[in-house]
Amino acid sequence: MADQGAAASDCRVEHISFHGWEAVRLSNGLVSLVAVPDVGGRIMAYNLGDYPYLWFDRSLAGKLFSAEENMGDGSIVAWKNYGGDKTWPAPQGWDSPDQWHGPPDPVLDTGRYALEILDSPAAAAAIRMKSLSDPRTGVQISRQVTLHAGGGRVSLHLEMKNVSDQVRSWGIWDIVQVDATSRDDNGQETHNEQAWLYIPTNPDSRFPRGFNVMFGEEDNPEWQPEVRPDLLGAQYLYQLGKIGVDSTAGWIAFVNQATDFAFCQCFTYFPGEEYPDDGASVECWTTGHGEPVGGLDFGKLNLFHMEAEILGPLRSMAPGETQSLDIDWYVARCPGPIVNVTNAGCANQRLRVEPIDAGFRLTGVFGLFHLGSVQLVWLDGDERTVAAETLALVNPLNVLRVDCVRRPPSGAQVAQLLLCDAQGQPISQLDSCPTR
């Protein structure tokens, strides 16, 4: 049983200095998030307690550059890769005007975004960051970020507006650079081989292996399909590469398996719509050793991170038209692999109900996204509650390991784990399993 171990509070928004940048912090007593509008509207920190999930380049801390300096000679060597989370247009490429020729990019990637602090109730804190109009792509990007009380949920509402005088076709592409740094026996920074990104694969994938190698070696050992059925694991081994996945499940999960800190993203997949990059809804990029890109040898940079990327459909926009993409972030302690994600929590082992002489043994391993309690609810064949009990008090800082024996009441056909808030009000189902 997990104990509470942490206290929730109302959400706050405050202006701060973050490593020399003017920034704004959203916090709720459990989770904190820092946004820096002046470096491309990035989210530069997202922490559960004291644990930081996002990577950023400390050699660029506090630095700002002119548009000319940000663009440089247009090569990847000139790119100011600040880190954190940002939004770009997709597809990326340099072969046609229908592709985004970046990075570098002095407007959408590293331009200075306007900040607006939004009115919100005490149970939420929200900001909006908006780019200038970009003449190259014809779009303007808006990033609305909302932190919710009672847990680690962050809602991203991303908008792309066509500010040109002609039809434009783009997808919204959100890129999170997660920290994959460890330390060796001498205390020197190195790559963390316990950093994993889990991506559900599509049973009907258009790709023979369930994923498409977009860059790097085809046999890159980082790409490990079927770590569980229909689940790809990307293990960080400091190899340079990128894959695209036509995932339809609507979630991905990063786990530092040295500490069991998990970071999950949930999104809506739109069946039947065209996605960029040969149909990829999710992509993963890893920095490390490999063939130099545009004269840049990533293996010599010793910058240890991997990218968890979510793409929206490729949509045509008339002048003045706007499209949007919504992504929810959640954090918790949970070991990997992550095999399932809901808005209640993530699962390393899903709920199992096994008959034994004394009744039924219930087992499972979960990370919870909210402070509150998990109820064990017995349901009949019509999904009506037969009986319920409090199984555990939970919070995102503690792993929930279920291992108990119960004799279900008469008529019970399903065991359900139901997450409730600190006041006992239901939030969402964590998992369920039939008793027969």
Edge-to-edge, what's the strand order for the sheet holding 399-406? Answer: 340-341, 345-356, 359-368, 399-406
Q: Which of 290, 166, 286 is nearest to 217 (CA)?
A: 290
CA distances to 136, 165, 171, 313 from 310, in Å: 22, 28, 10, 10
Residues 37, 22: Cα–Cα separation, whole Å: 8
CB atoms within 10 A of CB 230: 16
SS3 433: strand
Residues 89, 112: Cα–Cα separation, whole Å: 17
pLDDT at 7: 53
The CATH code of the domain at 344-434 is: 2.60.40
pLDDT in tens, 103-126: 999 999 999 999 999 999 889 999
Hey, where are the domains in the chain? 12-333, 344-434
Phi, psi of 59, rounded to the nearest 5 degrees: -70, -15
pLDDT in tens, 4-19: 444 557 899 999 999 9
Q: How far apart are the first and last CA of the chain?
A: 26
Domains 12-333 and 344-434 share a fold: no
pLDDT at 332: 99
Q: Residue 48 is encoded by which pair of tokens?
A: 């559960």
Q: Across 53-153, where does the E strand assignment appear? A: 85-90, 114-118, 124-130, 139-148
pLDDT in tens, 369-410: 999 999 999 999 999 999 999 999 999 999 999 999 999 999
pLDDT at 185: 92
- The pTM (predicted TM-score) of the whole model is 0.97
pLDDT at 193: 99
Residues belonging to the chain: 436
The burial class, CB within 10 Å (0-12 / 13-18 / 19+), for 272 is: exposed
Q: Residue 29 is encoded by which pair of tokens?
A: 């007593």
pLDDT in tens, 295-342: 999 999 999 999 999 999 999 999 999 999 999 999 999 999 999 999
Phi, psi of 11, rounded to the nearest 5 degrees: -80, 145
Run of H or E residues at 198:
strand 195-200
Residue located via tokens 């990829």: 280
Half-sphere exposure of 416 (CA within 13 A, CB side): 21
pLDDT at 282: 99
Q: Across 1-138, where does the E strand assignment appear? A: 12-18, 21-27, 31-36, 42-48, 51-52, 85-90, 114-118, 124-130
Q: Which of 325, 311, 317 is nearest to 144 (CA)?
A: 325
CB atoms within 10 A of CB 322: 13
> What is the number of H-type helices and E-type strands within the chain?
2, 32
Q: In the beta sheet, which residues pair with residue 146?
A: 126, 155
For CA atoms 22, 26, 32, 34, the dihedral sign is negative
The CATH code of the domain at 12-333 is: 2.70.98.10
pLDDT at 8: 59
